[in-house]
C-alpha cells in the first residue's frame, strides 16, 4: 500500500512539473509576441518621425524645388503606403535621402541657412532611430520564430491563433548628412 501511495504521489508531481513547464513556455511565447508588437510600434513611430522630418526639410525652402519635390514625394509615399508596399516605400525614401545628400555641397547649402543645422541634426537622429528600431524589431521577430519552432510549442498549439511575425526588411543605409 505505501509503495502505491508513493507511485501516485510521484505521478502527481510529474504531472504538476510538466504543467508548470508548459505554462512557463506559453508565458514566454506570449511575452515574445508582446515584445514583437512593442518593437513594431516603435519601428512604426520611428518611420513616421523620419518621414515627418523629411517633409519638414522639403518644406523648409532650404533646398531647390526639384530636390524638395523628390523628398516630399518619397516621404508622402512612405507615410501613406499600405502594409504590403510599406517596405518598398520606406526603402525608396532611404534611397531618395541618400541621393539628395550626395549632391555636391548639400550639407554646406543647408547649414548656411537659419535652422538648417538643427534640421539636419533632427534628420540624422530620425534616420538612426529607424536603423535601431528595425534592428530591435527583427531581433524580436527572430527570437519569437525560434521559440515557435520548438517541438512542445508545435505539439501543443501554445501560439494559439497568433500569426507568425515577419521580418521588416528595408534599405535603411544612412545618408551622409
Task: Provide the pLDDT for residue 163.
Answer: 83
In a domain, 38, yes or no: yes
DSSP for 44-103? HHHHHHHHHHHHHHHHTT-S-HHHHHHHHHHHHHHHH--TTTHHHHHHHHHHHHHHHHTS
- Domain around 140: 2-155
Q: What's the CATH number where 82 sits?
A: 1.20.1440
Contacts of 45 (CB under 8 A, 6+ apart): 133
Number of domains in the chain: 1
In a domain, 164, yes or no: no
User: In this predicted model, what pLDDT tens digit does every residue of 128-174 receive, in sequence order?
Assistant: 999 999 999 999 999 999 988 888 777 777 767 778 899 999 887 87
In a domain, 6, yes or no: yes
C-alpha cell at 92: 525608396
In a domain, 78, yes or no: yes
Task: Report the distance separating Cα 170 and Cα 123, nearest Å.
Answer: 18
In a domain, 161, yes or no: no
Q: With 70 as the cut, is the pLDDT of residue 1 above it?
A: no
In a domain, 172, yes or no: no
Helices (H) and strands (E) in the chain, counts: 6, 0
Task: Provide the pLDDT for residue 48.
Answer: 95
User: In this predicted model, what pLDDT tens digit does every residue of 101-140 receive, in sequence order?
Assistant: 888 887 877 777 777 788 888 999 999 999 999 999 999 9
For 51-57, what is the mean pLDDT?
92
Amino acid at each position: 500500500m505505501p509503495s502505491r501511495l508513493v507511485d501516485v504521489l510521484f505521478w502527481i508531481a510529474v504531472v504538476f512539473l510538466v504543467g508548470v513547464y508548459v505554462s512557463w513556455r506559453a508565458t514566454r511565447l506570449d511575452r515574445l509576441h508582446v515584445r514583437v508588437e512593442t518593437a513594431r510600434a516603435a519601428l512604426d513611430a520611428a518611420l513616421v518621425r523620419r518621414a515627418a522630418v523629411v517633409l519638414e526639410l522639403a518644406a523648409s525652402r532650404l533646398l531647390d524645388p526639384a530636390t524638395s519635390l523628390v523628398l516630399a514625394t518619397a516621404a508622402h509615399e512612405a507615410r501613406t503606403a499600405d502594409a504590403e508596399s510599406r517596405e518598398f516605400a520606406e526603402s525608396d525614401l532611404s534611397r531618395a535621402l541618400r541621393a539628395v545628400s550626395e549632391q555636391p555641397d548639400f550639407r554646406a547649402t543647408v547649414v548656411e541657412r537659419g535652422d538648417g543645422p538643427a534640421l539636419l541634426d533632427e534628420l540624422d537622429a530620425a534616420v538612426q532611430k529607424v536603423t535601431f528600431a528595425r534592428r530591435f524589431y527583427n531581433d524580436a521577430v527572430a527570437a519569437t520564430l525560434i521559440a515557435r519552432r520548438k517541438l512542445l510549442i508545435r505539439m501543443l498549439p501554445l501560439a494559439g491563433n497568433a500569426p507568425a511575425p515577419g521580418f521588416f526588411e528595408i534599405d535603411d543605409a544612412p545618408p551622409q548628412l
